[in-house]
Structure 1
Amino acid sequence: MMPRIVYLATADARGHLMRAQLLVHALRTAGAQVDVLTTSDAGQAFLAAFDIDAAVLSRHYAVQFDERQNMLRDATDRNVAHYVFRPTRMLRDIIRLRAIVCDAELVINDSFHPALLFMGAMPGWRRRIVHVYGGSLRRALTANFDARLPRALARAFARIVDWQIDSARCCIEHDFAYDAADDVRRSCVHYRLPTPVPIVAERPVSEPAAAAIYLNPHFRDIALADALSAGMRDAGLATHRVGEGYAGHGGWTGVDADWVTRAAHAPLIVSAPGMAALSIARVYQRPILLVQSDQPEQVSNAARAARLQLVHRVVTWRGDAAAFRRDVGQAAAELMRHPGTQAGTIAGREHARARVDAWASRLLALRPHAKLTDTETRCEAPAPR
């Protein structure tokens, strides 16, 4: 019988959606029936570009950002509080989810949707729920109230979130620094896997090599986009620019389903330091220019890229277009001393295939255990911080 899986991908970050479409196609190829949910109309449209039909669960829950992708913590806290405590929001979604997942063997939560965090800690539901998340995102979530609330309250919040996460059937933590060989069982319900990366096609011979730029839709500041484009021109680089927040502006494209293929063949990648972009750079051996903002998990990712000696530079927008243009031009010129090569692309395909295979195998291997009773021995949550 064809196994049924429900995959909920939050639309706050396009990396979640990219991972979802990649894994959904892999799971369907392996014979699973996968139904997809997301959390915004824009996320639904993004998935449609990759031939994934997704239903929108709720439009009320979303992390809040300004037009330069700086996280708005207070606005996010208000949004989440309204979602969790207003009965027409999370409770309504739980009722809807209860019907959707009733005959599913696995329910994947990518990443940390509050309704599935709650359901994953409740008897009867938790044995089927799998939380998928980046390690840096979990650390950022549990530290959300550090230095913002009294220490006792901040620690209580972290313990509750850790308990919710660790009560589920399984947790899969991914990271751009992991390798396929890192598919290890950290505990009875925790696994680590490398962030999955698409297996790219050949670049059309007629298409000239260009730096591949991607900025997620939280980037909407036109001055930033123009300064970035100008800095790349100053470095003598042609560019292929993708960003939903800049669609139709000065040569920018909103969505490009082939962007990863372009990036894997590009001499240089430009993006924010998300797990997906850093994974593409690492797997396909591309230098990467990181556009950093005030987003906790991405700040952590950029710091770890430095420790891993990934070929990269970091630029930060501070409102001065001329300074940002200068920083971009200088950083791009430095990175082009070590441009991506065809050999890196060829080697990267095998690494990408190993990553995708590891994910599909791990998720499908969880299915036979999805019907274990809740009397099964559970792991302890992480020790209090």
Structure 2
Amino acid sequence: MTPHIIYVATADARGHLMRAQLLVHALRKAGAQVEVLTTSDAGRRFLASFGIDAPILSQHYAVQFDERQNMLRGATNRNVAHYVFRPTRMLRDIGRLQLVARNADLLVNDSFHPALLFMGMLPGWRRKILHVYGASLKTALLGNFDGVLPRVLGRAFARIVAWQIDAARSCIEHDFAYEARDAADTLRFQLPTPVALAAPPSAERTYDAAVYLNPHFRDASLADALRAGLDDAGLSSHCVGEGYTDRAGWQGVDPDWASCAAQARLIVSAPGMAALAIAQVYRRPIMLVLTDQPEQASNAERARHLGLLHRVVTWRGDAGDFRRQVADASYELAHADAHADAAHACGAVCRQRAQARVDAWIERLLALCATGARTNRTGPA
């Protein structure tokens, strides 16, 4: 039988969507039937640029950010509360998901959509649902109310969410530096963050700096100071960011950005799991634009412990200061000769490493589909 998967990719940033499009194309190539749902009009347009049609589940659930990608905790918590407790929102989405996925072998939750967290506790559905999440994102979610609510309430929230995650029979926790390994029960996995297979080097795609800022970056002065700092360091740049499509030198979406990053002298991005995975697999130095987003701060600290060649720059509201930070960090990274030599020699080996990451995910997803198909035949558990 053809494996049938429903893949729900939240559109809070773009890491979930990038991972979704990468895995969906690979799954379809392997013979699976995959339907994708997302959570915003912008997310749907983003996936369409990669050739994937993704209807919107609903737009009621979303993490809230300011124009510099700082997470707005109060606004996010209010949004989630309205989503969970208003009957026309989460309950409606659960009803739609049950209808859409009634014959599916696997229902993927990428990442932590409340409707799927709840469904993962229900008999029958819990065997179909796979939670996919970054290790740092889970830590940030469980600690969401630390220092905000009284300690006992914060701990209660963490226990409830952990219980919801663990109730589903399967999950994949990923990290840019993980090696593929399975837990003892074989349905809980730790996998390296998947990475796009870069195209062979091309002179037309050669830039000193490959820049990607997700759509929550909308502050024009930050974008201008970033490009000016790269110019000061004497570096050409390829800048991608949906929040800056109206600014000279920027484009909204580039489906082949990973290929550009793989042969650039350095990568510039917020410390998301996908960007760090590209830097690690293709041995590129990376400049991290750090903001108040808990899981990304954790990612940056992990990069430091692992010795990944990087520098951190922070926007403090002063364009001149940020420009100097960018110029100093980018010049240092771009002239790290020993690392540049290693990257130059990477070539086919790096692409093989990227392909191995995707293959590890596809192997496990198809195996979980087989488990789900057996459950459909034998009834709910």
Which category of TM-score, normalised to the shorter sequence, fits these structures?
Answer: over 0.9
User: How far 1:149 moved relative to its partner?
Assistant: 0.6
Aligned to 2:328: 330
Tell me if the contact between 2:206 and 2:263 (Cα under 8 Å) persists in the aligned partners: no
SS across alignment from 2:346: helix
Decide which of 216, 229, 233 is 2:214's aligned counterpart. 216
For 1:213 and 1:165, the matched residues in 2 are separated by 34
Tell me if the contact between 1:133 and 1:172 (Cα under 8 Å) persists in the aligned partners: yes
Decide which of 299, 306, 309 is 1:308's aligned counterpart. 306
Query: Quick one: which amino acid aligns to residue 348 of structure 1?
Result: C
For 1:318 and 1:133, the matched residues in 2 are separated by 30
User: How far 1:3 moved relative to its partner?
Assistant: 1.3
Deviations 1:118-162 (A, max 9, x none): 001111211100000000000000100011111111111111100
Aligned to 1:192: 190
Deviations 1:84-105 (A, max 9, x none): 1111111111111110000000
Aligned to 1:30: 30
Query: Quick one: which amino acid aligns to residue 145 of structure 2?
Result: F
Aligned to 1:72: 72
> How many equivalent residue pairs?
374
User: How far 1:186 moved relative to its partner?
Assistant: 4.9
SS across alignment from 1:201: coil
Deviations 1:15-56 (A, max 9, x none): 100000000011111110000000000000000011111010
Aligned to 1:204: 202
Tell me if the contact between 1:264 and 1:345 (Cα under 8 Å) persists in the aligned partners: no
Q: Is the alpha carbon distance of 1:38 and 1:207 closer, same or farther for their aligned partners in structure 2, counting shifts above 3 Å? A: closer
Aligned to 2:316: 318
Q: Is the alpha carbon distance of 1:221 and 1:54 closer, same or farther for their aligned partners in structure 2, counting shifts above 3 Å? A: same
Aligned to 2:354: 352
User: How far 1:193 moved relative to its partner?
Assistant: 0.2
Tell me if the contact between 2:242 and 2:251 (Cα under 8 Å) persists in the aligned partners: yes
For 1:266 and 1:205, the matched residues in 2 are separated by 11
Tell me if the contact between 2:3 and 2:370 (Cα under 8 Å) persists in the aligned partners: no
Aligned to 2:294: 296
Tell me if the contact between 1:271 and 1:277 (Cα under 8 Å) persists in the aligned partners: yes
For 2:31 and 2:379, the matched residues in 1 are separated by 28
Query: Quick one: which amino acid aligns to residue 127 of structure 2?
Result: R
SS across alignment from 1:104: coil
Q: How does 1:204-283 map to 2 (within 5 A)?
A: 204-283=202-281
Unaligned runs of 5+ in 2: none
TM-score, length basis structure 1: 0.95
Deviations 1:64-123 (A, max 9, x none): 000000000000000000001111111111111110000000000000000000001111
For 1:279 and 1:41, the matched residues in 2 are separated by 27
For 1:206 and 1:123, the matched residues in 2 are separated by 54
For 1:106 and 1:362, the matched residues in 2 are separated by 12
Is 1:172 matched with 2:176? no
Decide which of 343, 346, 350 is 2:345's aligned counterpart. 343
Aligned to 1:51: 51
The RMSD of aligned alpha carbons is 1.4
SS across alignment from 1:17: helix
Query: Quick one: which amino acid aligns to residue 263 of structure 1?
Result: A
Tell me if the contact between 1:287 and 1:335 (Cα under 8 Å) persists in the aligned partners: yes
Deviations 1:259-291 (A, max 9, x none): 011000111100000000000000000000000
Aligned to 1:13: 13
Tell me if the contact between 1:285 and 1:345 (Cα under 8 Å) persists in the aligned partners: no
Is 1:143 matched with 2:143? yes
Q: Is the alpha carbon distance of 1:358 and 1:207 closer, same or farther for their aligned partners in structure 2, counting shifts above 3 Å? A: closer
Aligned to 2:371: 369
For 2:288 and 2:206, the matched residues in 1 are separated by 23
User: How far 1:342 moved relative to its partner?
Assistant: 3.0
Tell me if the contact between 2:206 and 2:260 (Cα under 8 Å) persists in the aligned partners: no
SS across alignment from 1:11: coil
SS across alignment from 1:173: strand
TM-score, length basis structure 2: 0.96
Tell me if the contact between 1:288 and 1:311 (Cα under 8 Å) persists in the aligned partners: yes
SS across alignment from 2:250: coil
Sequence identity percentage: 65
For 2:324 and 2:303, the matched residues in 1 are separated by 23
Deviations 1:168-210 (A, max 9, x none): 120100000113xx32225453210000001111233344433
Tell me if the contact between 1:243 and 1:255 (Cα under 8 Å) persists in the aligned partners: yes
Q: Is the alpha carbon distance of 1:374 and 1:139 closer, same or farther for their aligned partners in structure 2, counting shifts above 3 Å? A: farther
Deviations 1:312-345 (A, max 9, x none): 0000001000000001000001111226433224
For 1:290 and 1:319, the matched residues in 2 are separated by 17
User: How far 1:347 moved relative to its partner?
Assistant: 2.1
Query: Quick one: which amino acid aligns to residue 146 of structure 2?
Result: D
Unaligned runs of 5+ in 1: 377-385
